Structure 1
Amino acid sequence: MRNISRGKIIALSVVLIVVLAPFVYVQGNKMAHAERVRSYLLQEKGYKEDELASVKGVWGIKLPPFYTVVVFKDETEVNYVYFSHNDVLQFDQWITPKGVERGITPEKLKHTEKRKEW
């Protein structure tokens, strides 16, 4: 068996940390933002866990880089977008093409939150 020097082990460890750090940072932030939004919906807005189809953290290209997409079980053709960098804020909604075909319009959305006036 070949001896691996202590220096090579340290160098390999540093390379692994440098390579993995961005992945861990992004995944950790996605999870943290999704959990903040989930807590907000359950504790402050009064939703039940079984009303949520999905709550997913997303890393995007535009600023802010992290946001959360929520889908409710009673409205699976709509993606609600939340920011949670300071306060949790519903920012936007996307109706899927299938939802548009079914006649869902912005006026018919069930979970739209009114925005706070500045």
Structure 2
Amino acid sequence: MRPKELIQLWVTIFNAGDAGKIAELYHDDAINHQVANEPVIGKNAIRDMFANEFAAAEMVCIIENLFEDGEWAILEWKDPLGLRGCGFFQVIDGKIKFQRGYWDKLSFLRQHHLPIPTE
């Protein structure tokens, strides 16, 4: 599966809130680094991260732009509440090896009425 196709599937599964299915799109030793947080390493840890996030907030990813360059897919997204961000996905052998995302964590926490860290 090409990187762009894989990320279209990723968005569909993300919007369904299925942590188990989304984790299957990652290599066993994949890294997911949302720059507002510490990197998450390994498919099982990534599954747990998504399970926690899906339980904490109803999230929807709307594709604004999706580009492919070699083994990379670049996703520019928005959500219904007005948050915007982008993600970079390295796809090797049909699975995500590395992901980095940029978004405003403070705005996300406020929009979802979640606790704001004091540190």
Q: TM-score, normalised by structure 2?
A: 0.37
Q: TM-score, normalised by structure 1?
A: 0.37
Indicate the structure (1 or 2) with the bigger Cα radius of gyration. 1
Structure with higher helix content: 1
Structure with higher strand content: 2
